[in-house]
């Protein structure tokens, strides 16, 4: 596995990470990535991790990690398009899982949009399984919902 230099996101890296998420097609109008980053950084049970190939190098991968006290969650896993298919996604997921374990969390979960078979296949190679659980949602504060 490719070694990555992983750290928590810093203020001056937010624009770079949002651009990475956009380049990877991860953002949606109803989820403002700036709000998501700010919220994750303001909570003790979440973070945004960034990764470089070497100290001081450019950010090549990022992910938001959090937990609900029982299960770990991964969001916005991204690898710069010119570095994809080189094992960085696998290495970044390992970093997220290590973050979960350091928080005392032993089960890691994530959501993939229905029909995204390529991404589902990627996670299956890492040992993730499609769950028989159905996800339900409701916006209880619609002011936080972005453009739709």
Instruction: List domains and CATH numbers for the chain.
Output: 5-134 (3.40.630.30)
Provide the 8-state DSSP code for 54. Answer: S
The residues with which 109 forms a beta bridge, in sequence order, are 73
Q: pTM for the complete prediction?
A: 0.91
* pLDDT (mean) for 77-81: 97
The pLDDT of residue 26? 93
User: How many CA atoms are closer than 13 Å to the CA of 141, on its beta-carbon side?
Assistant: 3
Sign of CA pseudo-dihedral 55, 49, 95, 19:
negative
Does the structure show a pLDDT above 60 at 148?
Answer: no
* pLDDT (mean) for 43-69: 97
pLDDT digits 0-9 by tens, 130-139: 999 888 888 8
The pLDDT of residue 147? 65
Q: Burial code of 104-141, b = ≥16 C-beta within 10 A, e = fewer?
A: ebeebebebeeeeeeeeebbeeeebeeeeeeeeeeeee
């Amino acid at each position: 596995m490719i070694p990555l230099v992983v750290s928590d996101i810093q203020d001056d890296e937010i624009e770079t990470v949002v651009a990475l998420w956009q380049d990877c097609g991860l953002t949606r109008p109803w989820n403002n990535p700036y709000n998501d980053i700010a919220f994750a950084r303001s909570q003790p049970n979440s973070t945004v991790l960034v990764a470089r190939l070497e100290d001081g190098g450019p950010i090549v991968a990022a992910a938001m990690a959090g937990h609900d006290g029982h299960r770990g969650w991964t969001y916005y896993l991204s690898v710069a398009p010119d570095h994809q298919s080189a094992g960085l996604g696998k290495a970044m997921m390992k970093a997220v899982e290590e973050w979960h374990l350091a928080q005392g969390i032993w089960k890691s979960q994530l959501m993939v949009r229905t029909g995204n078979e390529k991404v589902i296949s990627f996670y299956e190679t890492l040992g993730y399984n499609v769950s028989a659980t159905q996800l339900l949602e409701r916006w209880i504060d619609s002011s936080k919902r972005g453009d739709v």
